[in-house]
């Protein structure tokens, strides 16, 4: 994301409040991406379809259907996401940008075939909804799966305004079409969502096609044995599993969930507070992109360029110290920005829940989730740094620990009772952030030695 981060940072060069606000707004939305915007869309559709405190039953069916689409499309594509990101980054470094477009189309074809085949099998064997409902679920699943691959390319584009326009048009159509089609019930809301996502996908693809050229139509170079990093495949899967596994455990536990639309189950007590809390990461993600990702990337490139050019050791040591200082400052700024955001939302918790028509009884769970997702931004920054320094095994172990600890802690809180719900996810995030900080600190202490002695 550093490429687009440099361009967003240019918006701040005029040193005006408007430039600062614009840069952070763009950064927050682009770095958070379609996942956070989907939560906003789902919440708005629920609010607009609530009258006199009563929400039509099909609204809940729509919300859980989209939530499952998001969760399982992310899990399905997670093994490819980091591996394909590494492939694209390497091609950019090698100045082989003509490889990007054909391999993107190859990845899209692969995802369409796998996601489509899997969805057809499941929808025909497990789901009991109408034929139209199942067709819309199939279409939505394939579209979302493709979107997660396309957004990998967006970080290298210069057209941040075009990306934002695509996001807003896509989700604007999602909300608007769903409202127009709500007379058709569940299928109407889901149809509006699919149309909006489809429009957004084609707009994003247009930006990519306009930015990259190639003499080949389609390629699968990213699947060559020398381009497959199994550690990245596993890391991508375990990270996404860690994000969703506590929700899955609540969904598939009959004591903590109810049947919404066969075979989908949802946990009203657990789902809405955690998804609402995820909206709070926008300021932290904006800071992560502009300060941590972009500022660090600049120092990182300067450090290794100095080594390759044979710069005197004292100057390399100075650049190394500056890079470590940028990392410390980045973590501190993320902590401050996200911390202030969490404090404000903790104070506004009750009216916020009332606005989205959620019982005030969920406020304690919302408070826990706000802290947890705030800490998760720090964990994401740690993983990002480990990837930069190519400590892939450290990142893999950290994500595996994240997934296992979230499973263990969530199961434990389910046994302890409703008063402890949410502490499992929060405990897993805090534990792994502390472990990640220790790993990163140890690696940075040895970086100079490893750079000169082991390579």
> Tens of pLDDT along 190-217?
999 999 999 999 998 998 888 888 888 8
Q: Which among 377, 70, 83, 398 is positioned nearest to 236, based on CA atoms?
A: 83
pLDDT of residue 22: 58
Residue scoring higher pLDDT (435 or 167): 435
At 1 the pLDDT is: 45
Work out the average pLDDT over 114-134: 90
- Please state, in angstroms and rounded to a whole number, the distance separating the CA atoms of residues 241 and 81: 13
Q: How confident is the model at residue 395 (pLDDT cuts 50, 70, 90)?
A: very high
Q: Which helix (H) or strand (E) holds 50?
A: strand 50-51
Let me know: does 253 contact 244? Beta carbons within 8 Å.
no
Q: Is pLDDT at 86 greater than 80 in this prediction?
A: yes
pLDDT of 50 higher than 70: no
Per-residue pLDDT tens over the stretch 1-47: 444 444 555 545 555 555 555 555 666 666 666 767 777 777 777 77
Cα 146 to Cα 339: distance, rounded to the nearest angstrom: 34
Q: Is the pLDDT of residue 431 over 90?
A: yes
289 vs 89: CA distance, rounded Å: 17
Calpha distance 395→404 (Å, rounded): 14
> Which pLDDT score, from 0 to 100, does residue 157 have?
61
Structure tokens at 407: 């499973």
What pLDDT is attached to residue 361?
A: 73
Winning range, highest mean pLDDT, from 244-248, 365-369, 418-422, 449-453: 244-248
pLDDT tens digits for range 224-250: 988 889 999 999 999 999 999 999 999
Burial class (CB in 10 A: 0-12, 13-18, 19+), 381: buried
Q: Specify the residue for token string 């660090």.
A: 296
* Alpha carbon distances (Å) from 178 to 45, 171, 184, 293: 7, 10, 10, 36
Burial of 145 (0-12, 13-18, 19+ CB in 10 A): buried
Write phi, then psi, for 100 (nearest 5 degrees). Answer: -65, -55
pTM: 0.88
CA atoms within 13 A on the CB side of 163: 27
Angle of helix 160-180 relative to helix 186-211, nearest 10 degrees, comes to 160
Helix (H), strand (E) at residue 39: helix 17-48
C-alpha–C-alpha distance, residues 293 and 384, integer Å: 8
Quickly state the pLDDT bin for 63 (edges 50, 70, 90): confident
Domain borders along the chain are: 2-228, 278-453
pLDDT tens per residue across span 306-317: 888 888 888 989
More confident residue, 34 or 455: 34
């Amino acid at each position: 994301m550093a490429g687009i981060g440099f361009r967003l940072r240019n918006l701040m060069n005029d040193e005006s409040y408007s430039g600062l606000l614009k840069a952070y707004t763009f950064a927050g939305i682009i770095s958070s991406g379609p996942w956070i915007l989907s939560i906003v869309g789902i919440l708005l559709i629920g609010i607009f379809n609530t009258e006199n405190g009563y929400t039509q039953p099909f609204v809940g069916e729509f919300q859980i259907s989209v939530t499952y689409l998001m969760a399982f499309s992310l899990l399905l594509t997670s093994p490819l996401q980091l591996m394909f990101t590494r492939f694209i980054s390497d091609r950019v470094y090698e100045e082989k940008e003509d490889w990007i477009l054909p391999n993107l189309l190859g990845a899209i074809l692969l995802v369409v075939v796998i996601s489509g085949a899997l969805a057809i099998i499941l929808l025909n064997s497990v789901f009991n909804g109408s034929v139209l409902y199942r067709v819309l679920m199939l279409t939505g699943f394939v579209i979302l799966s493709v979107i997660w691959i396309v957004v990998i390319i967006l970080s290298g584009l210069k057209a941040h305004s075009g990306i934002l326009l695509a996001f807003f048009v896509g989700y604007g159509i999602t909300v608007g079409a769903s409202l127009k089609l709500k007379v058709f019930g569940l299928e109407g809301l889901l149809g509006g969502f699919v149309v909006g996502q489809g429009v957004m996908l084609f707009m994003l693809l247009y930006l990519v096609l306009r930015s990259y050229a190639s003499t080949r139509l389609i390629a699968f170079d990213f699947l060559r044995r020398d381009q497959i990093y199994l550690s990245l495949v596993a890391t991508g899967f375990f990270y996404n599993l860690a994000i969703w596994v506590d929700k899955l455990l609540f969904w598939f536990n009959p004591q903590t969930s109810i049947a919404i639309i066969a075979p989908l189950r949802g946990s009203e007590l657990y789902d809405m507070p955690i998804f609402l809390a995820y909206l709070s990461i926008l300021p932290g993600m904006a800071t992560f992109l502009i300060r941590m990702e972009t500022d660090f990337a600049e120092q990182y490139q300067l450090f290794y360029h100095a080594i390759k050019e044979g710069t005197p050791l004292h100057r390399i040591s100075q650049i190394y110290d500056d890079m470590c200082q940028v990392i410390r400052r980045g973590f501190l700024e993320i902590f401050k920005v996200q911390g202030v955001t969490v404090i404000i939302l903790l104070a506004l918790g009750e009216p916020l829940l009332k606005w989205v028509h959620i019982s005030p009884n969920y406020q304690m769970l919302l408070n826990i989730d706000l802290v947890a997702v705030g800490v998760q931004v720090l964990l994401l920054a740690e993983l990002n740094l480990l990837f930069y320094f190519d400590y892939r095994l450290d990142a893999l172990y950290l994500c595996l620990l994240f997934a296992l600890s979230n499973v263990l802690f969530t199961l434990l809180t389910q046994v302890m009772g409703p008063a402890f719900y949410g502490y499992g996810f929060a405990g897993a995030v805090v534990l792994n952030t502390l472990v990640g900080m220790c790993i990163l600190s140890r690696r940075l202490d040895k970086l100079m030695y490893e750079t000169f002695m082991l390579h």
